[in-house]
Chain A
């Protein structure tokens, strides 16, 4: 059954659903399945373009600068304040049990395993995913994507693959920077406000940190980078005509990108840390 027939069937069921609530549930479920199928197919075709030549190295470089370099300030600010708040909140909570010594570990594990990748992913989804959807959506409605085809360029290779590759490679680097800045934020608050001994704090941080903590965060970052680029490109690619269509594509890119980040955060955590 193709997209149109699934949607037509969904619409018929939806109309019937005014009388039958089960039909309404069925229509929503069919629409969900059709949407999932479309995005999985888009991802598969995008991946195929990523792993087979030719590659548009210039476009990949441009996207790396756009996604990585220009996201540094927002990711850095998010990381430093997260690390600072984490140290402060942990202290007020843990001092009740006289467990202040655990703060260094709490900060470094929380930042590297969870908060670094998730918050960087969400920030990049807001900044980059939205921009991708807006740019590709505008290219769709102004026929620039059709123009690429007529000029013998595959739009998937030219537009989608460089973004997928760049986001997947760049987000781990961004998260590595965010990890360092986040831990530094916790360090600054712990030393200058809470009166911890600097060398003891650093020693605790290093003692508790294991390679898997950082590696799991970087793997999450790569997955989140791919998801952000995928949702940005997908919604832009399928943007409807007009400013409203592009605006809606941008909103959908940020919302679906954020939801997928949170969903896959659990899945990757489960893969790495479930016993």
Chain B
């Protein structure tokens, strides 16, 4: 790999009660779909938020195209899109205003043109113009995810972050969302970093997969190699076994 688009080195983050990230390092190439898997509380969301600049890491280096990112800097944010786990759509705004929020807010488009642009982006995620004037409270879970995906890609960013893109969806709708992610990111040439614990989703959308456990990456490699990773952690996780090196603090009956 030449210079990676995203380079993360020795990322560390602790909260008062516990250490969440303990030296996470990885590279993501331009146009690559990189997926981080791991159990709840393994530090996936914190990793994503550190790269986005929403959380300031205690130590480590995050470079985009060889330049260190600045926390929550609007200039850096212009290159990013983010699909939040729960959608994080703005309740008080109509669907089209949510999708075109960035263009309206930055003054890139007038409201009239922003609506047309939003409808076009909604089309990319399989939603018609009839959805544009609805409010988030009127949408089903699957529609909400699609609108959130549309908002993430509406400004045609270089990098899109996806936080548990299929959580809370039925298997068929989850597959529809996975297909959309693959199609849209390939069509627009977007680099994606996703975090998920849904292995079906990870296998479908990933070029490369890394597994996070206890704040460290215990394995990373090609998505095609995940079944022969040689990592006991990965084997336990992808097969969903209770017994193995990953122990859950659950009281046994």
Contact = CB atoms under 8 A, between A and B. Distances in A.
Are A and B physically bound partners? yes
Give the bracket for the number of chain B residues in contact with chain A. 20 to 34
Given A142-B86, A142-B88, A150 B77 contact: yes
Contact of B88 (A8, A146, A158): A146
B32 to A, nearest CB: 20
Q: Which of A8, A149, A152 has the most CB of B within 10 A?
A: A152
Interface string A10-38: 00000000000000000000000000000
B156 interface: no
B16 A149 contact: no
Contact of B85 (A8, A143, A152, A158): A143
B86 A152 contact: no
Interface stretch (B100-108, B116-124, B201-209): B100-108
Given A152-B74, A152-B77, A147 B105 contact: no
B90 A152 contact: no
Given A150-B80, A152-B78, A152-B106, A143 B88 contact: yes
B16 A150 contact: no
Contact of A149 (B54, B85, B106): B54
13 contacts: A7-B16, A8-B16, A142-B86, A143-B88, A146-B84, A147-B84, A147-B88, A147-B89, A150-B80, A150-B82, A152-B102, A152-B105, A154-B74
Contacts of A146: 49, 54, 82, 84, 88
Q: Which of A7, A142, A151, A154 has the most CB of B within 10 A?
A: A151
Contacts of A101: none
A147 B90 contact: yes
Given A142-B86, A143-B88, A152-B74, A4 B16 contact: yes
B72 interface: yes
B92 to A, nearest CB: 8
A153 interface: yes
Contacts of B151: 151
A9 to B, nearest CB: 12
B81 interface: yes
Q: Which of B49, B54, B85 has the most CB of A within 10 A?
A: B54
B95 to A, nearest CB: 14
A95 interface: no
A144 interface: yes
A147 B74 contact: no
Given A142-B88, A143-B86, A150 B81 contact: yes
B234 interface: no
A8 B14 CA distance: 14
Contacts of A144: 88-91
A150 B160 CA distance: 11
